[in-house]
Amino acid sequence: MGEVEEEDEEIVRRVLAGDTDSFSLLVRRYESKIRGFCANMLGDRELAWDAAQEIFIKVFKKLEGFRAEAKFSTWLFNISRNHCIDLLRKKKIFRFISFDFISEEGLSAEFQSGTGVDRQLEAKEVSKFILSKLSPDQRALLLLREFQGYSNNEIAEIVGSTEDSVKSKLKRIRKKVKELGQLEGGKDE
């Protein structure tokens, strides 16, 4: 019999039944995604590592409240999003973010039409500028969609909204991103 990856919900059931060591399976499965999400939200690697640890502690403590009506990953990213937004608001850091570690893809292929190191650096700078100009809520929506690959329906579940509302917000965010990209990068289509 081939090795089949165990479903998140089954791992949650085992943890709730007393096998708390199984929680490490969920941590290993999602740790890099949560750290990456936190890093892009918070703009600071060390803060992102701390936030990811705090999120997993919070998730462990709230695990009894998880209802399998939604996917575990949706629930996890909802907690992560809320935690990062709380940190940003409490520390008032979102205006002073350094995105030195942002993914090499930047926000989209739109900013990477050229090749070479100079073009990649330019795309990173444009991405830094754009992300720093978005509110924490806007940044979270954009990151969930573009970097984490969640569908509009999944994002609606994460943020407790409707799919139509998410579509509308993402449309406005993309328009703002496009305008900011043209402002910062001097790009014309």
Among the candidates 74, 98, 122, a domain finishes at 98
**For residues 118 and 108, what is the distance between their CA atoms, to the nearest angstrom?**
17
pLDDT digits (tens, 9 = 90+) for 105-160: 344 443 334 444 444 445 556 666 777 788 888 888 988 888 788 899 999 988 88
Mean pLDDT for the stretch of residues 66-88 = 90
Residue 82 pLDDT exceeds 60: yes
Give pLDDT, residue 174. 86
Residues 86, 65 share a domain: yes
Q: Which residue has the higher pLDDT, 91 or 98?
A: 91
- Residue 146 is predicted with a pLDDT of 81
Do 82 and 136 fall into the same domain? Answer: no
> Is residue 69 very low, low, confident or very high in pLDDT (cuts 50, 70, 90)?
confident
Choosing from 51, 72, 98, the residue where a domain stops is 98
Q: What is the mean pLDDT of residues 29-47?
A: 89
Task: For residue 71, give the CATH number of its domain.
Answer: 1.10.1740.10
Shared-domain flag, residues 92 and 162: no
* 174 and 126 in a common domain: yes
| Domain end residue (candidates: 98, 113, 137) | 98
Range of the domain at 177: 99-189
**CATH code (residue 172):** 1.10.10.10
Better-predicted residue by pLDDT, 138 or 186: 138
| Angle (nearest 5°) at CA 48 between 46 and 52 | 120
Percent of the chain with pLDDT over 90: 40
pLDDT band at 92 (very low <50, low <70, confident <90, very high): low
Q: Are residues 77 and 164 in the same domain?
A: no
Q: In terms of domains, do 49 and 106 share one? A: no
Same domain, 3 and 81: yes
pTM greater than 0.85 (yes/no): no
Inter-residue long-range contacts of 176-183, CB under 8 Å, 24+ positions, other chains counted: 176/133, 176/134, 176/138, 177/107, 177/108, 177/130, 177/134, 177/142, 178/110, 180/129, 180/130, 180/133, 181/107, 181/110, 181/111, 181/126, 181/130
pLDDT above 70 covers a percentage of the chain that reads: 72
